Amino acid sequence: MSIGQNHQALPRAGPEREALREKGQFWTPDWVAEAMVAYCLGSGAPHVFDPAVGAGAFFRAAKAVAGRLGRTVKLVGTELHARALDDARAQGLSDADLDGVTITDFIVRPPRGPFRAIVANPPYIRHHRLPPELKTHLKALATRLVGRPLDGRAGLHVFFLIRALELLAPAGRLAFIVPADTAEGVFARPLWAWIARHYRLDGVVTFDHAATPFPGVDTNALVLLISRNPPLESFTWARCTERGDSLCAWITSGFVVRGAAIESQTRPLEEALRTGLSREPQQESDELPTLLDYACVLRGIATGANDFFFLTESQAAALRIPREFLAPAVGRTRDVVGNSVTHERLSELAAAGRPTLLFKPDGRRLESFPAPVREYLRKGVELGLPARALIASRRPWYKMESRSVPPFLFAYLGRRSARFIRNEAGVVPLTGFLCVYPRSKDPDAVQRLWHTLSHPDTVANLKLVGKSYGSGAIKVEPRALERLPIARSAIIDAGLGQPVREVQLAAL
C-alpha cells in the first residue's frame, strides 16, 4: 500500500472547485480505505457494499484486503453519477469490478438490503446546496427512522449514514468516513441517541492535522466503525497521528496492535456522546459555570445582500446616504487584527477601501425616506433583492435587522483567529461574528468578564463546544457558545465573582 497512490488532485478555486462542492466528491486515500474495509470484512462478510462508489477507492481497497486474506469478495454499490465510474476505471478497476454498481439515488431509491459490510465516504454536500424536494424527502427519512426530523443544517452525508444503517444486516459492520460535524452539529444529539439505542459503536478514529486524509479540504474527518450488534456502554476511541499502514494493521488486529501512529483508549459511550465523538475525552468534574451565566449571545446581522447593504465610505458618500441610516460595522474576521476592534482600525479599513458602514433603513414607507435613500432602494428593487430568500421574509424587504452595540464580539469561524474581541469602536457585526452581551452593565463587571473570556483556559475550552474543520478551524454557533465552560482558574484570576443569571433579552 502506498500513501501517495491514487491521490486526488484538488482544484484550489474556480468552476472545478465549485463542481466538487456541488457533488461533494473527495477521494478516500488508500491507507484509510483499506483500514475501513478491513474492519467491515472482519466479520466474514462475502461482499462489500459502497453506496457512493465514485472513483472506486473502497472497491480497490476490498480487492487488496481480500487478496491479503486469501478471500474473494463481491463488489456491489450505487452511484448517482455514471461519469464518476470513468474515474474508477482510470484508477484501475475493470468493467467486471464495476458490474455490481447500480446507477441510482441511494437516498431516494435505495437498493434492497440487507448488507453485511457497508463502507463509504458519503458525498459531503452542505444543507444550503440541497434542493427543496430532496430536503422534504430527507426530513421524512429521519422522522421515520430516528423518530424526529433533524435540524435543517444536517448535510447529505448524515442521511447517507442513516440510510446505510437501515440497510445493515444483523451482526453486519459499517465503516463511514465523515466530517466531524456528524458528531458535533446541532442535529448530533438526536442522531446519536438513535444510533446508540439500536447499534453498537465499536470504534471512532480521529486524525491529527499531519495525518488528515484530505489535505487541502476544509474539513475534520472521522472514521465511524459501527456494527448491528447489541449496544455496549463503551467503545474504542483512537487518534491517528501519521499516514500509512499502521491504521489498517491496528484495525485488523482487533484494535490491539497500535504502533507508534495510533493512540487509543476505551471510552465510556455516555461521556463521548455528551462531549462529542470527535473531541478528546473529558474527565468528570464539578459542574462549571458557562458563558450563559454571565452573558447572552446573538448572531451578527444577516443583511441578505452584503454587496448592497454593506458599504464603503466612498460608496456612501457617492450615494449621499444620510448618516442616520448608516452604522459602523465589521464583516470579516480577517478585518479585525488582534483582540480588539478600534476606531483606528476602522479608519485603516476605510482607507483601504473596505466596507465599514451598514446601510440600515428602518420599516417606514418608501416615500418617507430622504430622496437619496429612496433612489438607492429603487435600485435594490431593480437588482431583484426583494426576491432573495432571506430578504423576502422581511416586511418591508429593506428593513434591516437591528442589534444593540455588543461590548464583545466573537470570531464565528477561524483557525488561529477564533477569539473574543473587545468592541472599542462601537461597531455592529455582520454574520462573521457573534454578539456577546454581558448580563451585568456595571463597567467593572464587564471589564472582569473581558479578562475571563481572554484567559487561556477559557479559550482552550472552545474546542468543547465548537464544530471542528480542517487546519484547526472551529465554528461556534450562538447557543453552543453560551454553553462554553468557564474555567474556575479564569474566574478566580479575573475576580469575576458569582454568575448573574438574570437577563432582559428584549432590551437587546
pLDDT digits (tens, 9 = 90+) for 415-464: 556 789 999 999 999 999 999 999 999 999 999 999 999 999 999 898 88
Number of domains in the chain: 3
Backbone angles phi, psi at 359, to 5 degrees: -80, 120
On whether both 304 and 388 belong to a single domain, the answer is no
Task: Decide if 14 is inside a domain.
Answer: no
Say if residue 80 is in the same domain as residue 97. yes
Residues 394 and 404 in one domain: no
- Distance set, CA 169 to CA 118, 164, 192, 380, 391 (Å): 9, 10, 19, 56, 47
Tell me the CATH number at 101.
Answer: 3.40.50.150
Say yes or no: 112 and 248 in one domain. yes
- Mean pLDDT along residues 13-41: 72
- Tell me whether residue 493 is in a domain: yes
**Pair (225, 117) in one structural domain:** yes
Dihedral over alpha carbons 32, 281, 479, 330 (to 10 degrees)? -70
Confidence band, pLDDT 50/70/90 cuts, at residue 158: very high
Whether 52 and 108 map to the same domain: the answer is yes
**pLDDT given for residue 14 in this prediction:** 47
Range of the domain at 495: 292-360+400-507
- Of 108-122, 137-151, 296-310, 407-421, give the lowest mean pLDDT range: 407-421
Residues 342 and 198 in one domain: no
Q: What distance in Å separates the CA atoms of residue 210 and residue 189, rounded to the nearest whole number? A: 29
Kindly state whether residue 124 falls inside one of the protein's structural domains. yes
- Separation between Cα atoms, residue 269 and residue 185, nearest integer Å: 18
Write the CATH number for 453. Answer: 3.90.220
Residue 17 lies in a domain: no
How many CB atoms sit inside 10 A of residue 251's CB?
28
Residue 6 lies in a domain: no
- Domain match, 209 and 151 both: yes
Q: 120 and 258 share a domain?
A: yes
Q: Are 256 and 367 part of one and the same domain?
A: no
Q: Domain for residue 405, yes or no? A: yes
CA 66 to each of CA 5, 73, 74, 112, 449: distance values in angstroms, whole numbers, following the listed order: 19, 7, 10, 24, 59
Shared domain for 171 and 267, answered yes or no, is yes
**Cβ-contact 166, 121 below 8 angstroms:** no
Instruction: Read off the pLDDT of residues 347-384 as tens digits, 9 standing for 90 and up.
Output: 999 999 999 999 999 999 999 999 999 999 999 999 99
Evaluate if residue 218 carries a pLDDT over 90: no
Nearest to 35 by CA among 275, 203, 208: 203
Domain for residue 307, yes or no?
A: yes
Residue 194 has pLDDT above 70, yes or no: yes
With respect to residue 260, please indicate whether it lies within any of the assigned structural domains.
yes
Amino acid 502: pLDDT = 39
